[in-house]
Amino acid sequence: MQLFVFLLLFSPIVGDLSFEWNKFKRDYNKHYGTIAEENERKEIFFNNVHRMRSYQQTHPKATFKMSINHLMDRRIEELVSGPKLSFQSLPASSKSSVDVKNLPKSLDWRTRNVISPVYSGERGVIVTAIVSTELVESLHAIETGNLVKGSISRVYDCCQQPIDAFDCIQNMSGICYNSDYPTALDQCEPDKCKPFTTVRIYDVSSCSEGQVDYVVQIVGYGVEKDIPYWLCKNSWSEEWGEKGFFRIARGKNMCNIATVVIQVANSKKSDAPRRYSIVSMSFAFTLAIISRKITTYY
């Protein structure tokens, strides 16, 4: 009798997940090469849904919402790949203090046409290639008023060591147009295109030990319901999070987001007032916890 009762209770749960699985495949046009692959993805999907629902039940007052998205059939390791970085070994081409006085209460660079669309290309590209290219795009747009698409593929081919991404870009005299270097060649051809902007690193600061395995670009900050936040641009397409962006608590070094900060400036304007120093940032972070949390929660 106990087994019978268990089956009665268990069957609706499985049935509910099966319905969600089929709906997920329809909604996101999911197709798998083999039955074995589909079964594997199905199991991952079930596990992710279970974790999501468990968190919702145990954290009813969470400041964010979770829902099924196109990444629910993926493991964390598939989204967060590449070499781990040690804080102590991060380069410091030059250091300087940043004046943070008289800043506005909030800022969102998305409203000023200086942020390129959220990356939605193939997974497996080293995330530092994506973020470093996008950061230089934004810097160029802030200083020139012209937002252009830079070549992530060139940075990926030529800057295989994530820790040296910005130094590498500097050594190549900047990034070039995506149209001139649209696809990765799996070998560096730095002379394939002419850079449209040059870059100089002027600030790298760290304050704790640990490893970095993910990077994002910060595009703004603000306060909502008395909670200060950083507004960050991710690279998991617009179907993730808040149309590809997410907000994370500001002022408490949440998930080590403030442990390592990298800023860039146009080398041609190195002696000019640093009008954009505080808002043209890339945060290099984090321990795996941030990747696991934002992957599971959205």
State yes or no: pLDDT of 145 exceeds 80.
yes
Q: Where are the domains of the chain?
A: 2-58, 83-297
Is the distance from CB of 106 to CB of 220 less than 8 angstroms? yes
State yes or no: pLDDT of 46 exceeds 80.
yes
Angstrom CA distances, 232 to 7, 118, 229, 282, stand at: 45, 11, 9, 9
Residues 60-77 pLDDT 10s: 888 878 889 999 999 887
Domain 83-297 homologous superfamily, CATH: Cysteine proteinases (3.90.70.10)
Those residues with Cβ within 8 angstroms of residue 150's Cβ, 6 or more apart along the chain or in another chain: 133, 134, 136, 137, 140, 175, 176, 177, 178, 196
> Which H or E run contains 232?
strand 227-233
Residues 112-139 pLDDT 10s: 999 988 887 665 567 788 888 888 888 8
Band (pLDDT 50/70/90 cuts) for residue 49 is very high
Q: So what's the pLDDT on residue 42?
A: 96
Model pTM?
0.61
Q: How far apart are CA 84 and CA 155, in angstroms?
A: 18
